[in-house]
Each structure stands twice: as C-alpha cells, then as structure tokens.
A and B are shown apart, each in its own frame.
Chain A
Amino acid sequence: MDSVQTTVERHRSSVRKWVRNRFGKWVNRRIPPAREVTLDQRRIFIFPSRTGLFFGCSLLVMLVAAINFENNLSYALTFLLATLFVVATLHTYANLSGLTIRAVRAQAAFPGQQSEFLVMVERSKQRDHYALYLKWPGSSEAMVNLVDEDSVKVQLHMPVDKRGWFHPGRLLVESTYPLGLLRCWTWIDLDLYALVYPRPLSSAELPGLATDTPDGAAAMVMGNDDFYGFRDYRKGDSLRQAHWKGFAKGQALQTKQYTAYADRSVWLDWELFAGMGVEQRLSHLCYWVLAFDERREEYGLRLPGVTIAPAVGEKHREQVLKELALFGIGDKSR
C-alpha cells in the first residue's frame, strides 16, 4: 500500500516536473532573455484572479436574487457588474501592456548578503500605470506606480550564496489594477547578473608578505595620517607641528609626530596560501583585499593568469574582487 502510494507520488512529481520543464521551455521560447523587454500580447497572460472568482460567485448570488425576486433592476445591476468584469479585462491588460522593463544593474555582494537588483520600468505612452508588482522568486517585492514619471527605478533585494555570477531567475511583473478582478502577469528573463564575491575568511597574519621593498616589512615613515608621539623640537621642524600647548605649560617645545604607511605595494599572491583549497585561497585573498582597502594602502593581485598592478581606490578594489569572484568561472555561465 505504502509503496504503491510512493510510486504514485513519484510518478506525480515526475509528471509535475515534466510539465514545469515543458512550461519553462515554452516560456523561454515565448519570452527569451533580454536586456530590456517591452510587454506586448505575446508576453502577457491574463486570467481572473482569486478575487475575480469570488466576484463571479457574488454575481451568481445576485443573479439568483434577481431571478427569485423577478426584479429587473437587480438583473440590470448584475449584468452591469458582469460586463464591468469584461471591460476590466481590457483595462487590466492595458495597465501592463506597453511597459518596458529594463535591467539596470545588479550590485555585487558577498555570499549571505542581499544583492540589490535594479530594474527600470518605463512607459511608452503617457498613460498612467498603477500597482505594478515586481518580484523575483525569493526576492523582496515592490509595488510601483507610473503616474507622474515616465520611468521608475525599482530595487529588489535577494540573498546570494555562491561565488560567481548570480542570476535571479525570471522576474514576475504583475498587476490586478484597476479592479483586482483579473490578474495580468508575465515572467520575464532579464539579462541581469549579480557578481558574488568569495566569502572573506580572515587569517591572522599575511604569510610571507610579498612587497616591493626587499626587507618585506611594513615600513613606517613619517607622515600626517595618525598621531604617533612627540620628540624634541629640532631646528627646521615645522612650527605648525610644534606642540604649543605643552610649551605654554612650561614644557620644552616638542614636535608632534605623525605616521603614515609608506607608499608600498603589497602583492596579494595566489601562492601565499599554497596548500589550501581554491575556495579557501580566494576567501583569504578576499579578506586581505578588504583589509588593505580599508587602510587605503596599495595592493596588487596575482592569480594564475591574472595580474593586477598595485593601486588603491574603489575601482581598483572592485576590479580585484571581480577577478577573485570569477576565478575559474567562465563569463556569465551558471
């Protein structure tokens, strides 16, 4: 008995999978992935919503009341609402039709974080669009109007996990405006990928720090980044760095000393973490990229087949992280 049930269950689930597969293929054919998608009749599906079915039931009750009371105005009102349902089909459809959904960008993120996906909804005609509902499976949801603006940016957040390119799947664009009786929707595949960096993994010390300076130490030179200490005032020292407050208290004139890390170039090298797995190496490198970036120190990256010269700054960091994220992964393959 039990086994029969599981067989049936398995059979059913395989049928469901087959149906879903077929549907997926069909949708793919009908709505191929693109950078921007303009919604037209090939893409828009429309069907009475749950509310619409409930409304239909209410209409049936009204019709029965009209018949039983032989009340012509009740008939009239029932028919008016029934045809309102029909007219609403067109309005609901029009609310979605002609919209252009454009993939803007996806924010890079670390595993476990939420990546921000930015899409733009544009209208082609000056018609007001209301209550456009957008959501990826598993993402946050958004409800937007297009009334005073011609386009609106929509931010959707979605957790990402694996290093590499993350594709959020098909975006659901849905509307039940104006009456909620009909649900008009489409699934669009946007050519939008979020970059997922390796998970940063701290290591206490950067083993065998590879720098340009021969001794390899993190040389400290006098600069003005951080207050470091005092030393006696010597002739030639800047008056502006003199410790006047101490002098006023009767101490000997002293000079304030500041430190800064010297212009040095750290190479974050694949070989620094020899003996570890690929992902672990990347994670450690990632951690150090962030560490150096925070200190605004220059760093370069050496991976097998990739070399990025030492530099500092946001763009540099992104470039380095991107290389780490995509190491060993073909471009935009999943």
Chain B
Amino acid sequence: MQVQGLVDGAVKEVGNILLGKEPQIRLALCCLFARGHLLLEDLPGMGKTTLSHALASVLGLSWKRVQFTSDLLPADILGVSVFDSNDASFTFHPGPIFTQLLLADEINRTTPRTQSALLEAMAEGQVTVEGETRPLPQPFFVIATQNPVHQSGTYPLPESQLDRFLMRLELGYPHPQAERQMFERRHSGAMEISNPRQCIDMEQLEMIRIAVSKVHASENLLDYLQRLVAHTRQSPEFEVGLSPRGALALLDCAKTWAAMHNRGHVVPEDLQAVLPAVAAHRLVPSGDYAGDGDALVDLLRREVDVIGR
C-alpha cells in the first residue's frame, strides 16, 4: 500500500506539470527505482527537460543539465584539474556530472569521444580524471535525451551503447485534451507553477528498493521471460536478440513495476508493461524486416505464448 501510495503521489505531482503523460511518468519512475538510466527520445519541445527536472524535484535529487554540443569535450562533463600558480598545485574542478541526476540534453549532438566518456561514467558510477578515480554521488541517474530525426552533424548512439540505458521512452505529442488544458493554463498565467514538491525522500527510496528486492518471480514467469528472450534470438525478424543484460533489465523492471503496484509477485502483465520501454531500443530488426524496434516488441508480445507448453 505504502509503495503504491508514494508512487501515485509522485506521478500526480509530476503530472501536474507534464500534462497527460502519466504512463511515461510511471515508467520513468520505474526506471529510476530500478537504478537505471533513462533515454528520452523525442522531438524538441515535447517536455523532455520538464520531465527530468520534475523527476529530480519529486525525488529531491540534486540536478544539473548539460547541453551537448559538437565542441563539448569529455573534460567539460567530467571536470578538469586547473593549475593554481599561487600554491603551485593542481586543483580538481568537478564537472557537471557530479550530481545525483544529470540531464544530458541532445546527447547525439556531441562526438563519440564525449559520448563514451559519459557512458563509461554511467556504467561504472565513478569518474577517472588524469589517473585519479573519483566516485559519483549516490544515487546517480542520467536522463539523456536524443533527437530521433537524423540531422546533419549528429552522431547517433551506436546500438551497443544503447544497451547502457535501462529504458528508452518517447513522450509523444500530448493528448488534445491535455494540450487544451495547457493552453488554458498559459492563458490564465497559472503555468508558472514552481518546482513540484518533493514526494519521496531518500529513506523512502531505499524502502522502495527493499520492496522491489522482495518481489517474487515464479518459475512460470521466468519461463515466460525465457520464451520472450529466446524468441528474439531465434526469429528471423531479429538481427540482434536480447542480450543477457537486456533480459536481466526486463526482469528488474518487471519486479519494480510489480512493487510499484503493491504486488509481492510478478505477473505477465508487468513484463508486458515494461517490455516496450526496456526492450525496443535493444532490438535490431533484420535487414528484410520493415518495422523498427517498437514493431518488434509488438510482435514479441503477440507471438510469444504466456502459457507454457
């Protein structure tokens, strides 16, 4: 009851700012609860920044934003040692990465070198600058955004790097009703709602994690998961199937999803709920298949039998 209550509160709070996007907000929270990094892929102006800022506020996390540009250097994110001529020594100026929630905006605008510096830090939870390793604050989340339309001068993340993001979400255009509400708010000047209030503190975050770790995944469910994963590796529509890391990510998210709905065990619906966000960006369609990752996920959900034989 407690977890669901907390989650519902947080979703409502964020939903006040980002109208009509409750499912995405819920998934984003799920991603953060599962200690994963989030990739938001959408056109500019869809509320990516708003969402990440609101998430940071709701969870009471320190927050920084880096706009990725083509001339951004790894040092611009990680930090740099500056020589102080007064006491003739180097002092470390930490980069923006030293925060709890980093919004990496338009990550595909920067060079692969800078991208991989960020991704390495994400994977390891620490930063190595000039031979010295410094731990990142805990918890540490990255919400990266990426423009899906291929524009000139961009460097789309390679598929292998996409695997580092636990989930990929698309926000999409708002529902007409929500959009109308937005217009009305702006008209009435009520848009300037300051930051949403914090709903979940560190202690509660920890509690949610404990609840997740206690969620039971039965044999039947694991069988279903294995059938899903096996299908991606065997069907001709898939060029690249789900990696073991991807399969584990699915299970983690499904467990978190179950906990977020106050259930002590995972049901197939949980897996199906998180499947598009977790799996779509990890799947590569084979050359002859017309659809993209989302189509593959859809195929997966339709074709793999929930009930074992």
Complex contacts, B71 vs chain A, CB 8 Å: 222-224
Binary A-proximity of B70-83 (CB < 8 A = 1, otherwise 0): 11110110001111
- Bound-state CA distance A272–B207 (Å) is 67
> Is A163 interfacial (CB-CB < 8 Å)?
no
The smallest beta-carbon distance between B230 and chain A, in angstroms, is: 7
Contact in complex: A104, B114 (CB < 8 Å): no
Contact in complex: B234, A150 (CB < 8 Å): yes
> Is A204 interfacial (CB-CB < 8 Å)?
no
Binary A-proximity of B218-230 (CB < 8 A = 1, otherwise 0): 0000000000001
Complex contacts, B286 vs chain A, CB 8 Å: 104-105
> Is B150 interfacial (CB-CB < 8 Å)?
yes
Contact in complex: A102, B82 (CB < 8 Å): no
Interface size on B, residues (CB 8 A): 29
User: Which residues of B151-210 are within 8 A (CB) of A?
Assistant: 152-153, 155-156
Contact in complex: A224, B73 (CB < 8 Å): yes
> Is B288 interfacial (CB-CB < 8 Å)?
yes
Per DSSP, chain A at the interface is strand
The smallest beta-carbon distance between B234 and chain A, in angstroms, is: 5
Q: In the complex where A240-B75, A313-B150, A313-B156 touch, is A105 in contact with B236 (Cβ < 8 A)?
A: yes
The smallest beta-carbon distance between A183 and chain B, in angstroms, is: 28
Per DSSP, chain B at the interface is loop
Complex contacts, B80 vs chain A, CB 8 Å: 239-240, 244
Q: In the complex where A150-B234, A224-B72 touch, is A239 in contact with B90 (Cβ < 8 A)?
A: no
Complex contacts, B90 vs chain A, CB 8 Å: 244, 248
A-B residue pairs, 5 tightest by C-beta: A104-B236, A240-B75, A248-B83, A244-B83, A263-B153
- Report A's interface with B, CB cutoff 8 A: 102-105, 120, 126, 149-153, 222-225, 238-242, 244-245, 247-248, 260, 263, 265, 296, 298, 310-311, 313
A sample of 21 cross-chain residue pairs with beta-carbon separation below 8 angstroms, ordered by A number, consists of A105-B236, A126-B309, A149-B230, A149-B234, A150-B234, A152-B234, A153-B234, A223-B71, A223-B111, A224-B72, A224-B114, A225-B111, A238-B76, A242-B82, A244-B90, A248-B88, A260-B70, A260-B111, A263-B152, A310-B152, A313-B150
- Report B's interface with A, CB cutoff 8 A: 70-73, 75-76, 80-83, 85, 88, 90, 111, 113-114, 150, 152-153, 155-156, 230, 234, 236, 239, 286-288, 309
Given contacts A105-B236, A105-B288, A223-B71, 8 further A-B contacts (CB under 8 A): A105-B239, A223-B111, A224-B72, A225-B111, A242-B82, A244-B83, A247-B85, A296-B155
